[in-house]
Structure 1
């Protein structure tokens, strides 16, 4: 099987074993294992071909040369970097760890943020979606939706549910009556969730200014509002946002806010800011929706002493980092697009997975939406995205390319600039550390030394593994994960 091509047909056990035997008996097997281990056991590594040369800037002498010609198959393996655990467990763990440090730095300091930031007023806020129809819910042993027996909706279905659903019940999140459920409204809310969040960040600044009887401009001269947030899919297929909101001085995290800008002011300003946010959908013969946040709003202060009816800094950072690696698959849908750029470029964007360019669709050519391994509710959300996406008034929402995400196309995690260090800085620091280790191993000048130049030429040569390589890579990932857990336990101890 070629690394450059992905086939929908799964290889048989005999093919796996044959390929695995071939792999372990190849001369470059040990080197291949070391490259996979260096990626952490990445599930879909990128294959690069090329060379890199370090030369003396003054004399032109070659100090070190590397070429992939000597590597197994002539390729260097590089981690894919995908954040989603359903796509690549190894890379998602790295992303989760980076997100944890990013969030925690804005709570306790570190990574260039002063430790005094932990004394700033902070709150952990959860913003939810409104109801578009009753769905089955888990209520800690209580009936799902108790209603009078025999009461039917206009479609002839029971309007309630007297069952006591277990947490793993497949019916959780599914509508009581799919025909009563407002699918267009749900999809359009999902598509505008990013705009709702943006307007909330503006509204909270305005509300804080109102409560201190200042103009927004005057308030900004005394207090800066910083935030970090992550999106989480609920069982019903709609997202809600978990956010950290922090009050700083005008210079950001390095400066405390005035004494009057305290936890009480922050917590009091959030509810009215949430209530005043509205986004109206474009005009359509289907109607117009005034989209708002849901009634469920959770606000909890983040305190140095979590026993005082608050949350600990580490708990909040861990909670947000956990959801940074999850996607829409938690709500019963799929984690990949239903078509590819090659299809779209030729005007063939469709629900049919008949294109050889589409990667990892899980569908054989000619199978339609009905064959997708999704829940009935997710299937109707996807179909609604597809139908609304064909309307010119909703073209800007790009509902078809984001149908697999049930209409949501925003960032799963984001932060304001002043909150803390960003992911790029963390990744650059990790890359610099690895490069410095490599230079020290080869006896080369330190990274950044002006006496050397790095010359390189690289090209993309493929992605992924053969069946036998995939089995061995998963084994390597598990061993790397175990080693990391042991190391983390030692450091905590």
Structure 2
């Protein structure tokens, strides 16, 4: 090649020109098998060399450039191209799963996902923790996410809703079962003597906001018939099954009190607080005590869970227990009996009320509990509902989200158009729209109704308990960590620095995590079957 004449300036160089693409077989091409890439210095000297005359960019004489010819045959190149073509034909989820499985750190990533139980939306953390002996200063444990795949650690999302994350929901239900059960029969640092205390299983319902379709051979039979002011029938003679979409829907949406329904949800937690306070006062009055001195003689402990009915109204299941003034370790006074506690619950349920803030558009509403009240004493001799059945009943409703019961959504809505996109019935959608409209009134601003539109205005926790009822979720998690081998060293000092870097899975990772969750669930089922047959590990 003749030498270039003259010198070339910067303006003559096209520095933005796109470089020639590297074809498969080039030592730096991503599709070139690792076996054909030089990995050791000795391999470079064993390869055939070719010398080319390359023009110097500075305009001088051409210089010699020695390149290494890769040992890559046309058949190998066709095989790589065929493999790439086959990968492109796969769905994106499968391609991502193959990419993860071929990663050198796949085994460690798999250990992390398995440790989370196959969590569907794990939280990604980055940071380090160091535990040192407080006396000697010796480093006991040290951990850094820089040694992990992607320099991050996966932890559970701890979502209670089964529709969002089934593995974490199952774990939360198990913790709830043991939390409620410990308050009924003891255990988890609660004395077993609580089983002999006055205990009730109480169900409080919302009032009626209008007639709705219900399950039965005949929904709402009316001998005289009749219609409402909107021309709709006041009765329904059709038999509805549990899966009938009409169950829970109002007979006349125009007659239904959607405003009262939403505002009752917004004040349900306050109504429960006043109910508990009034039960204490009724007990004190029945025992001849000054109401303000009740805490010196007895203590009312409870655990309650909220559940959405078919009509999308919340009702409350609660376990109520009467203890001495020091809680579960103290016996109740002689006058503290189950009959007296039952009478106090009945009286308070029909007496307490909450007044809503006055609004020119709505007025002032008086909110009360519904007429349907169920109070069942729990006895230690097995008469009535069993303790395990009550604990399992409460734990079952903790994992149900609003979307699973058809009463709202599991995620917040931020605009009016989001309400139209939620897959709910017309009755629930009207409740959500009513909640959004009421949230725009200044007198209801403290209720934050628009923030709680996805729960139809209900602002309380699904499960709440009094402080002295039993153990806590944090204590149960610490006990589980100790069971798997995480021990606390006395007089140790831990310095931890964590940072949130993301959450969730990619498509392929979600597929693998779902498979792990299914495998773990199947292992638990087989283990339970083996225990029932008496041949499995305990």
* Superposition TM-score tier, normalisation by shorter sequence: 0.7 to 0.9
Unaligned 5+ runs, structure 2 = 1-88
Question: What pairs with 1:425-440 in structure 2 (closer than 5 Å)?
Answer: 425-434=475-484, 437=485
Residue 354 of structure 2 corresponds to residue 304 of structure 1: no
Provide closer, same or farther for how the CA distance between residues 225 and 54 of structure 1 changes in structure 2, counting only shifts above 3 A: closer
2:429 to 360, 379, 389: 379
Match of 1:405 in 2: 455
Residue 519 of structure 2 corresponds to residue 454 of structure 1: no
Give, in whole Å, the separation in 1 of the partners of 2:138 and 2:320: 54
Match of 1:483 in 2: 523
Q: Which moved more, 1:237-246 or 1:247-256?
A: 247-256
Give, in whole Å, the separation in 2 of the partners of 1:433 and 1:153: 62
Match of 1:326 in 2: 400
Match of 2:299 in 1: 224
Match of 2:214 in 1: 137
C-alpha displacement of 1:449: 3.3
Match of 1:99 in 2: 176
Q: Which moved more, 1:56-65 or 1:407-416?
A: 56-65
Match of 1:123 in 2: 200
* Count of paired positions: 443
Give, in whole Å, the separation in 1 of the partners of 2:271 and 2:512: 45
- The CA deviation string for residues 23-62 of structure 1, in whole angstroms up to 9 with x for no partner, is 2222222221211111111110011122233445566555
Give, in whole Å, the separation in 2 of the partners of 1:334 and 1:478: 25
C-alpha displacement of 1:150: 5.2
Question: What pairs with 1:61-460 in structure 2 (closer than 5 Å)?
Answer: 62-139=139-216, 142-148=217-223, 151-285=226-360, 286-306=362-382, 308=383, 310-329=384-403, 330-339=405-414, 350-352=415-417, 368-434=418-484, 437=485, 447-450=488-491, 452-460=492-500
Counterpart secondary structure, 2:505: coil
Provide closer, same or farther for how the CA distance between residues 403 and 13 of structure 1 changes in structure 2, counting only shifts above 3 A: farther
Counterpart secondary structure, 2:120: coil
Give, in whole Å, the separation in 2 of the partners of 1:453 and 1:324: 36
Give, in whole Å, the separation in 1 of the partners of 2:347 and 2:132: 62
Computing the radius of gyration over CA atoms, which structure comes out larger, 1 or 2? 2
C-alpha displacement of 1:217: 3.1
Give, in whole Å, the separation in 1 of the partners of 2:212 and 2:345: 28
Provide closer, same or farther for how the CA distance between residues 253 and 453 of structure 1 changes in structure 2, counting only shifts above 3 A: closer
Give, in whole Å, the separation in 2 of the partners of 1:57 and 1:213: 55
- The CA deviation string for residues 326-369 of structure 1, in whole angstroms up to 9 with x for no partner, is 23221342111012xxxxxxxxxx234xxxxxxxxxxxxxxx43
Answer 1 or 2: higher relative contact order, Cα 8 Å, separation at least 6. 1
Counterpart secondary structure, 2:416: coil
C-alpha displacement of 1:13: 7.9
Provide the TM-score with structure 2 as the length reference: 0.79
- The CA deviation string for residues 251-277 of structure 1, in whole angstroms up to 9 with x for no partner, is 211122133321111112211111111
CA RMSD for the aligned pairs? 2.0
